[in-house]
Amino acid sequence: MFHCLLIIAILGWSICPAVLGQLLHRRVDPSVLEEDLTFDTNTIPLVDNGGAALVDLNFSPNVVFSPDPRKAFVSYPGSHKVLVFDLIEGTPLQPTPLIEVPDNPALITLTPDGKKIAVVSLFLQNNLPQSGEIFEGENVGAISIIDVETLAVQTLNLTEVFFSFANNIVFSADSQTGFVASSGTDQILRFDVDSATEITPRLDMIEGTRPSSITMSPDFSFFVAVLVGSNSLPVQDVADSLQVIDTGSFMVTRGIVPTLEDPLFPPHGFVVANTLAISADGKYGLIADQELSSASFQPEAFIDHALLLDLETGETVQVFDIAGLSGPSFLVPGGKHFVTLSGGAVAVTDIQAQELTVVPTPFFLTGFRPTTRPAFASDGSRMYVASATRDFLLDFDINQGVFTRFVDIGPGVEREANGVTFTVPAGTLDLAWAPNLSLFTAVKFNANVIDVFRDTRRFWIPRLLSDEEFFTGITLANNSPRVATVATTALDTTGRPLVNDPDTEDLVDFVQPEDIVLGTDQQTSFTIRELVQATPNSTIDGWLSFDS
């Protein structure tokens, strides 16, 4: 005798209980172009190293969007190309999906008027020191300026520069002038956007101070360069600092060396991952350091600092303790909070109250990297950040300062070395929220693809059973005025997608359901065994996730 559990789900406007979730909308895979494109510039994949010191930052490129924002751009540093893709369709944009640019394109920036993007090319191989009488590289670089509409490219070729992955471009308010640091030559450069020519002279920093990232102020009146120092510079004499530079005069107006009460090492242990966030009124800045963790083989076990600075006076307003392996800081949309990421923690700073809160996050979900970048909802209420080493997407409520949920965004990627096949994480690093759309992108560094996620409403059926005694019957009804597409995922009792029994490799125990399409006032019914096409006499015990 069978006992039936009948569950009815109604797809409607307000009577349907549901929670907010994320659904994989599209996967942008450049292999459809018969191109072997790679984000990485070496053969060292991003892996979970158990907290050991990092030998490779795995610096991820970023995704930027056209103002409409159907068109999206991302660089492939290992393949010397920029990919253009359709964000809605999730496909390379025809007829020009790939733009040839000089070697190793890195971070991309959109001009304030939305008409052009610019990307720095690093020329890594050319700039590596060569053996011989003169042990130095060529010191060359380039900036590609790409028209967002026509995709026409202008190239500014440069000499006596040495760009790093951290050297991003910022623009003046009128989009006519670009600024970028050259870490290896300790300089800040300017260039004219329309003519793609350098504006001289360059702004020289102290030798060995290594300017890395640049942050433009919200009103475009000044920008700040982070000087991370180098082994060739005695930090007892010249500390890591921030240089405030006037946009119009192109002159340093203030150098800021944050002060700590009892530093164990000469300040401040800035690294290229430590970017500055500037408040909406331009008064305050927040930056983390790696004073302790950068000198440790177990960096996540040490305490670093987040430094709240008054950019007008140069005063250090607050010094907060944060988790080790600190990384970038960001201004949250809405202007009320800063967010700082560390190896295993998220810290939210209330700008007005000048208070920092570490958001409790389960340790097994973290796995952030120094170059992890989050995506924020346009109203600043939510933040998504990826656990690069564990393939989870984490959702945070910024206003409440709480972690809310996580989503598995794997699978991992198979690699082979010396005849041995092993699995590494997909390695999601950069997330970016598309303006005016409930879509965000995820750059999967190891997998060399871009996933596009969309918000959805998540319906959970409480329990599914199918054995010799019980079975679950399901009815779906669409009483909304629109066609409903229902994505279903069968989950085990731990909430993970069901997988086939490895002991029955020659037998398919079940298949994950395909999307169900229901027209207006249409309904359908089925048992769970029918839905997943389970083999006879098998047992199903778990849940079913509905996304519509």
Q: Mapping DSSP to helix (H, G, I), strand (E, B) and coil, where does residue 383 land? A: strand
Residue 441: pLDDT over 60: yes
d(CA 267, CA 270): 8
Residue range 226-250: average pLDDT?
A: 87
d(CA 542, CA 408): 17
d(CA 375, CA 383): 6
Q: Which range in 162-171, 392-401, 494-503 is most confidently predicted, on average pLDDT?
A: 162-171
**Is the pTM of the predicted complex or chain greater than 0.85?**
no
- Token readout for 523 is 């309904």
Q: Mapping DSSP to helix (H, G, I), strand (E, B) and coil, where does residue 30 land? A: helix
Q: CB neighbours (10 Å) of residue 305? A: 23
**What angle (nearest 5°) sits at the alpha carbon of residue 271, between those of residues 376 and 298?**
95
- Token readout for 277 is 């966030």
Query: Residues 131-150: pLDDT tens digits?
Result: 655 657 899 999 999 999 99
113: left (phi over 0), alpha (psi -120 to 50) or beta: alpha
- Token readout for 198 is 């350098």
Query: Residues 47-70: pLDDT tens digits?
Result: 776 544 455 668 999 999 999 888
327 touches 294 (CB < 8 A) = no
Nearest to 29 by CA among 89, 80, 101: 89
Nearest to 424 by CA among 390, 399, 383, 396: 390
172 touches 247 (CB < 8 A) = yes
Sign of CA dihedral 53, 303, 402, 348: negative
Band of residue 26 on the pLDDT scale cut at 50, 70, 90:
confident
Sign of CA dihedral 387, 43, 32, 511: negative
pLDDT at position 507? 56
Band of residue 458 on the pLDDT scale cut at 50, 70, 90:
low
169 touches 178 (CB < 8 A) = yes
Task: Tell me whether strands 3-11 and 470-478 are parallel, antiparallel or unpaired.
Answer: parallel
The architecture of the domain spanning 259-267+297-447 is: 7 Propeller (2.130)
b/e code 499-537 from CB counts within 10 Å (16+ = b): eeeeeeeeeebbeebeebebeeeeeeeebbbebbebeee
d(CA 207, CA 204): 8
Query: Residues 181-199: pLDDT tens digits?
Result: 999 999 999 999 999 999 9
Q: Concatenated DSSP letters for 400-457? A: TTEEEEEEE----EEEEETTEEEEE---EEEEEEPTTSSEEEEEETTTTEEEEEEEEE
pLDDT at position 12? 44
Residue range 146-165: average pLDDT?
A: 97
Q: Which range in 139-143, 396-400, 417-421 is most confidently predicted, on average pLDDT?
A: 139-143
Band of residue 1 on the pLDDT scale cut at 50, 70, 90:
very low
Residue range 428-447: average pLDDT?
A: 91
Burial class of 150 by CB neighbour count within 10 A (0 to 12, 13 to 18, 19+) = exposed
Range in 12-26, 160-174, 295-309 with the lowest mean pLDDT: 12-26
Tell me the chain's radius of gyration from C-alpha atoms: 25
Strand order in the sheet with 222-227: 211-216, 222-227, 241-246, 251-256
pLDDT at position 54? 57
Band of residue 473 on the pLDDT scale cut at 50, 70, 90:
confident
| AA letter at 66 | S
Q: Can you give the residue ranges of every domain in the chain?
A: 3-18+458-547, 259-267+297-447
